[in-house]
Amino acid sequence: MALKHKPLTFKLAVTALAMFGFGFALVPLYDVFCDLTGLNGKTAATAASADAALIDTSREVVIEFIARPNKQMPWVFKPEVRRMTVHPGEIHIMNYLAENPTGRMIVGQAVPSVSPGQAALYFHKIECFCFTQQQLAGGKNMLMPLQFYVDPALPSQFSTITLSYTLYDVTSAWTGDTAASSQLGE
Amino acid sequence: MSAVVTDHEHEHHDHKPSGIKRWLYTTNHKDIGTMYLVFALIMFFIGGAMAMVIRAELFQPGMQFVEPNFFNQMTTVHGLIMVFGAVMPAFTGLANWMIPMMIGAPDMALPRMNNWSFWILPFAFLILLMSLFMPGGGPNFGWTFYAPLSTTYSGDSTALFVFSVHIMGISSIMGAINVIVTIFNLRAPGMTWMKMPLFVWTWLITAFLLIMVMPVLAGVVTMVLTDKYFGTSFFDAAGGGDPVLFQHIFWFFGHPEVYIMILPAFGIVSSIVPTFARKPLFGYASMVYATSSIALLSFLVWAHHMFTTGMPVAGALFFMYCTMLIAVPTGVKVFNWVATMWRGAMTFEVPMMFALAFIVLFTIGGFSGLMLAITPADFQYHDTYFVVAHFHYVLVTGAVFSIIAAAYYWLPKWTGHMYDEKLGQWHFWCSLISVNMLFFPMHFVGLAGMPRRIPDYALQFADFNAFISIGGFLFGASQLIFVAVLVKCARGGEKATAQVWEGAEGLEWEVPSPAPYHTFETPPVIK
């Protein structure tokens, strides 16, 4: 390569490599963007503090609950009630019923989504089964709790919030995890 | 020892190795350009054969010839081959042939890399095509390979698909680096930026787009690969990922990519129209600025492919307005071409005919693009044949017509012979009529709700689809005339002069026809 081409070639190659990195940087950037704006209906993946703000008794918000096991997930998974009317600021507990009709232990991970997406920023979970993976032996059932409140700052155009959970079978990934941790333990 | 070196040097400068070795080892920009163009033509026919399978299946409602899974493989591989195997290599071939001659350079700046960037390409497509013969078949998730279709639900051949896209990407990036370095460092003395022919300008901007977005494509296919085989969850909601993220990353590549496939076409048309109108190009500077602004805007419009994913209104409006803004610089270009022809002494040889058809039909494709940009309307048009009609107007009657126009325009320079004008006119008129039979009715079936990528359709679309298929077969057959013209011209014909066209201006028309193996070894002086 002629000497005079080296600097420019090098710069362009570095740009190409940087853009390869940028493609991957889009992954966390996308999450940050969704967290900040509440677009995409993503709720916080960690618990909100329980010291809720003032209860706004003058206002009612309808919360609708949708629960759906993924196609590959054999569990029965449903909320105790389909809908609930709450005042913003009130803390409520909602139980979800999970049943494993198979003969083997299965680990589930629930992934939440809030609709309308802009309301996701105002839906706070104090405790949720979706924060961790849930383990259920074959033939057993359990109640999985969700403790939440709606932020009184919820813009007035929202009168109904739909919370949807999709439950995934993550048994294969989970067994891998324990194998790794037990190795670490030894 | 020194004798050997001298001998080698001697051979390098005056002779070329004979037989296959000439093509395998060549670092000559003209040889590599020829190989790119021939490769693109072969790929055009392979991808075209797949389109014929698609149209044969859609000739009548109901399942006729192929299984739905094979139909999906045909739509997927047709798209991949036409985008990465036909249009992009054809433009790279034209760049290799013409850019050094247009700027008065002896060769591309990085000739060894040039050889590599071509020769890895056939292997990429060999891998892709071989995957069709694997158990379970080749990729069947559409050329956009949306997750989870390409991750959770894809066949075992997906790794081959990913690998072949990696190789295509590396090839394009190396080609783009080469173009930029050549244009920056090897312009002849006096060839200032604003004296460069527009084909060089548009290719320079295209090369920057390639360097910016091809690595992102490489990234997204890598994520698909690791999601499918190595347990990551970039696009898998169960593991904390998001399938919509795939579409964002893909279209961040994908939208600039569509301009990669049209900007060099703008450069070609801007070369041809002044020649046959015998007037200098109207608004040269505005053409340069319009091309640059199209390139910049292309990074701000990607989510207009995703209006139906449940985007908030603010986002939809932003992407709608940015998309519509692109119509402004594009309109400037169309206006400039028309103004160049205004009161020109026009003649209508085949390159001019294809360039004129480009201007009219590309504009139709642009207008249907504007319709698609309207967010609420897009909910109706999304994933219908209206979209298919739109992108085939901009890619077939746009990009492909410009490549054909370029081939006719520079063929006498490449071969030293004039092509057969009569046969060329037959090729043009057959193509023009059949391509509109093929793609224009798709607007109507699309507006009526016929979904794309489905091997069957509702009965009310039967007559339209039969007509479209006939158009498709005729268009495919018309391209055989093109091959006949090419072969005939390569073998012989009326001797071409150096200038070839009466109104042609530029450095490439100052070297003899056919262009000698080495041109501008001493740089020309530009007044």
Residue B488 sits in a domain of what CATH number? 1.20.210.10
User: B484 CB contacts (<8 Å, ≥6 apart)?
Assistant: B423
The predicted structure's pLDDT at residue B328? 96
Mean pLDDT of all residues belonging to chain A: 83
Domain span at B131: 7-135+145-186+196-509
User: Which residues of chain B neighbour A5 with C-beta distances below 8 Å?
Assistant: 109-110, 181, 185
Q: Is residue B258 part of a domain?
A: yes
The predicted structure's pLDDT at residue A40? 67
Q: Is residue B519 part of a domain?
A: no
Interface of B with A (CB under 8 A): 109-110, 112, 173, 176-177, 180-181, 184-185, 211-220, 223, 231, 234, 237-240, 242, 244-245, 248-249, 252-253, 310-312, 315
What are the C-alpha distances in Å from B318 to residues B313, B323, B456?
9, 9, 36
Residues 145-184 in A contacting B (C-alpha not used; CB under 8 Å): 166, 168-170, 173, 176
Q: Distance from A25 to chain B by nearest Cα, in Å?
A: 10
Q: Is residue B1 part of a domain?
A: no
What is d(CA B523, CA B527) in angstroms, rounded to the nearest whole number? 13
For the question of residue B390 being annotated catalytic, the response is no
The predicted structure's pLDDT at residue B14? 53
Q: Distance from B218 to chain A by nearest Cα, in Å?
A: 7
What is d(CA B366, CA B370) in angstroms, rounded to the nearest whole number? 6
For the question of residue B228 being annotated catalytic, the response is no
Cβ <8 Å between B245 and A26? yes
For B105-147, where are the alpha helices, taking DSSP H only?
111-119, 121-130
The answer to whether B255 touches B319, Cβ cutoff 8 Å, is no
Task: Please provide the distance, in angstroms rounded to a whole number, between the alpha carbons at the two ends of chain A.
Answer: 55
Q: Helices B158-185 and B88-103 meet at what angle, rounded to 10?
A: 10
Query: Over the stretch B468-523, which tens digit does the pLDDT of each residue have?
Result: 999 999 999 999 999 999 999 999 999 999 999 999 999 999 999 999 999 999 99
Cβ <8 Å between B211 and A26? no
Q: Is residue B518 part of a domain?
A: no
What mean pLDDT is predicted for residues B431-437?
98
Cβ <8 Å between A1 and B112? yes
Catalytic residue among B30, B333, B392, B443: B333
Catalytic residue among B55, B304, B417, B427: B304
How much is the pTM? 0.88
Query: Over the stretch B103-147, which tens digit does the pLDDT of each residue have?
Result: 999 999 999 999 999 999 999 999 999 999 999 899 999 999 999
Q: Is residue B516 part of a domain?
A: no
Q: Which of A63-67, B265-269, B422-426 has the lowest mean pLDDT?
A: A63-67
DSSP at B270: H
Which band of pLDDT confidence, cut at 50, 70 and 90, is reported for residue B194?
A: very high
| Residue A52 clears pLDDT 60, i.e. is over it | no
The predicted structure's pLDDT at residue A182? 35
Q: Is residue B442 part of a domain?
A: yes
Looking up tokens 């050997």 gives B4
Cβ <8 Å between A111 and B231? no
Looking up tokens 């899974």 gives B69
Q: Is residue B293 part of a domain?
A: yes
Number of domains in chain B: 1
Query: Over the stretch B271-326, which tens digit does the pLDDT of each residue have?
Result: 999 999 999 999 999 999 999 999 999 999 999 999 998 888 888 999 999 999 99
Q: Is residue B2 part of a domain?
A: no
